[in-house]
Structure 1
Amino acid sequence: MFFIETIKTNKFKDALFTDPSLVGEESKLNRTVYTDGTSRLEANQKDHRIQYQHRNINSSTVFQTGDLIKRSVKYFNDTGSFTDDYQYFGINSNQQLSFNMFMDGLPIVNSTKHPFGMTSLEVQWANDDILNYKRPNYILGNKASQSEQVKLMNGTELKDLIIKQTKYDDLEKIEQIFPAYQAASTASDQDQAMFVWLEPVWCMKYNGKTVILSNDLLTEGSENHGVE
């Protein structure tokens, strides 16, 4: 279990808007919204998410993945976005890039059973501007308790689980199987969480989506349990 440190939203307002002095603010329940009439920044405390959107541009240019990675890394450096160890994790069909938080060399994904919130930087470009940027609103702190031993499934057990479940039955769509940490909430009120529980799990990339591999897959039915 780890402490988390919430990043002040003003830091993002100052870094992302061209002229922060022109930005208006509106608060509703667990959300605070900033806008200058063209761009919009929303801080969602419950989902531990910051989202910045440019409203007046459309995605029209197709970039090479390598160019997008370079653009994104420069943007993250310029805006002070690398607040933890983030590493490139993938790109989807809309050319949205993901840079996941890492711990001990393993990616951190959001738990589907006890979701904590965002664990990645996600960015989408339109020409030379940012169309959409999402990220966690927190920094991982120090350990709050001693680590516990967790036994993961071995290769045979993992293979049997994948064969038995029916939702992800097209083996040709499995792109990768890898160990990770899942970030799970420790609070009944997610927006009041001061800690996050990081538990080792097996994951797979299936048709572009990250899926946590557990025995819950056998009882999921038709629900959507891919990691966001």
Structure 2
Amino acid sequence: MRREHIKSVILTTLVIVSLVLSYSLWSYQPTYDVLQNQDYVQKVSIGAKRDFKDIVIPNLLVVHESNKNYETTKQGNISPIYRSLQKSEITNFENLTNKTSEVAYQSITKGKNKLEIIFPTVVPVETLGKVLNLDAKRLQNVLFDRIIINLSTKQDSSARIYFSNEAQNILYGATFDNSSIIASVEKIRDNYESFTESLRYKLDSGKIIYLPKKPIKLTTMEFLTTDIDVDKLKDAIFSDPSNVRKESTDSGDTFTDGTRLMSVSPLNRSISFVNPTTPENNNNQSPNLLVQRSVDFINAHGGWTDGYILSGVKPENNEVSFRLFVNNLPVYNNSTITTSWGVDDIETFKRPLYKFRIQVDKKESEMELMAGPQIMEIISNNKSINKSLIKDISLGYETIFDEDKSTINQPYYNRAIQLKPVWIINYDDTYKKIDQDLLSRTGVNIVGLE
């Protein structure tokens, strides 16, 4: 009887073990497919991956000394200040939006020992929290385009710091330990002579800008470029590249899987991708989510090929853009990576097809660009310009492509690109340039660029 009981126990145990093993086999999902997919994604790379600290970068530093403003676009001057700020904990955020008059706001920015760190676009506070040590959990979907620092005169002391967005009349105050900032400021004080004295203007749109008091000299540069591998882009963008068909026309190649479409323009050296399958998002997505999704999408195929930084956040269009910067000045005319998003997937994607290879070693030509007062006078006298639609005025570069049309369909041909200094007007999110050559010849001064 005891022997039969033992047999029964053993049999039951074997049955249980068998069931467990069977279930394990049925439910087992091998990891090699995932690993293979990860290897595949790593191979589809057209450039590099980047962290937020490499993408969310200020492009202008303004120092307020007494009643004068001194600005610099040189990263050698901006980076030490910005890196020092990244080491400081910023706390005690307070909403000052409805508590600060225009006079009070000017008192915040003017006077001795004031710094303004200005970004090319508004930046979500959550995105700033990925590059700065912010204790701002209560702030959501707030956008800032500049940081104003009121430096204390004492070492190792707490100081006031402000986050501002003048166009939307947003102002927050906070506190931080400014000891590291003071040390960095002292190091660049000797460089103040190289800064540009500037004048402060408030645009009709609400934004405050700084323009040079005197004419400024910049050099024209030339680069040799190479084309990005279109097949790599195709493999990176389409979820199943094996189902993608290629069609060639006189205007360029197109790639489609039956619904999604990627168009290649050899003349403009750019690609445009459209995904009509994703449900259209009629609601504005979180600005921070839009930026995060865009960075993740570009990182997935190593899409950072040159000095692109965050330059546009438009929640109303679910759109984010990253513009090419050279010498910390924006480049215009086919020089932007743009993404727009549906509910759960990318809707459109546009980017240049070229990337810089080397700068041409030749004598650079220097150009003298008009001073800020001249620029404002030209705009004021132009009756065709709606002043309330001007969102920004800044120095930048215009790209001028190689005119040899016989080479535009040759992949990887090292065509030259010239970067010409120019004054740029952001006119209702389209870009116009003030053409000094055209002005001297015809009297026409403002022409379209993008």
Task: Pick the TM interval, shorter chain.
Answer: 0.7 to 0.9
Match of 1:199 among 420, 424, 431: 420
Q: Tell whether 2:382 aligns with 1:165.
A: yes
Gaps of 5+ in 2: 1-221, 409-413
More helix by share: 2
Q: 2:434–2:445: 8 Å Cα contact kept in structure 1? A: no
| Residue of structure 1 equivalent to 2:444 | 219
Match of 2:28 in 1: none
Counterpart position of 1:65: 287
Q: Is 1:153 matched with 2:375? A: no
Corresponding residue of 1:120: 336
Is the alpha carbon distance of 1:227 and 1:96 closer, same or farther for their aligned partners in structure 2, counting shifts above 3 Å?
A: farther
Give the TM-score, by structure 1 length: 0.87
1:161 CA drift (Å): 1.4
Which position in structure 2 is the counterpart of 1:174?
390
* Cross-structure match for 2:270: 49
Q: Deviations over 1:134-160 (max 9, x none)?
A: 000110121123321111111122122
* 2:248 match: 27
Structure with the higher fraction of residues in strand conformation: 1
Computing the radius of gyration over CA atoms, which structure comes out larger, 1 or 2? 2
Give the counterpart of 1:78 among 300, 318, 325.
300
Count of aligned residue pairs for this structure pair: 217
1:104 to 327, 344, 365: 327
1:12 aligns with one of 230, 233, 255: 233
Shift of 1:80: 1.7
SS in 1 for 2:373: helix
Decide whether aligned partners of structure 1 residues 227 and 91 sit closer, same or farther in structure 2, where only a CA change above 3 A counts.
Answer: farther
Partner in structure 2 of residue 132 of structure 1: 348
Q: Give per-residue Cα distances to partners, 1:30-63, cap 9 Å, x unaligned.
A: 4111111121111110111111111223422421
Shift of 1:75: 0.8
Over the matched positions of the two proteins, sequence identity in percent amounts to 27
Query: 1:150 aligns to what SS in structure 2?
Result: strand
TM-score, L = length of structure 2: 0.46
Preserved CA contact (<8 Å) 2:435 2:445: no
Q: Check whether the contact 2:312–2:320 (CA below 8 A) recurs between aligned residues.
A: yes
Looking at structure 2, the residues matched to 109 and 209 of structure 1 have their Cα atoms a distance apart, in angstroms, of 11
Give the secondary-structure state (helix, strand or coil) at the position aligned to 1:10.
Answer: helix
CA RMSD of superposed structures (Å): 2.1
Displacement of 1:121 in angstroms is 0.3
* Higher RCO, 1 vs 2 (CA within 8 Å, ≥6 residues apart): 1
The one-letter code of the counterpart of 1:34 is F
Counterpart Cα distance in 1 of 2:284 and 2:448? 26
Unaligned runs of 5+ in 1: 111-117
Amino acid at match of 1:26: E
Distance in 1, Cα, partners of 2:406 & 2:285: 37
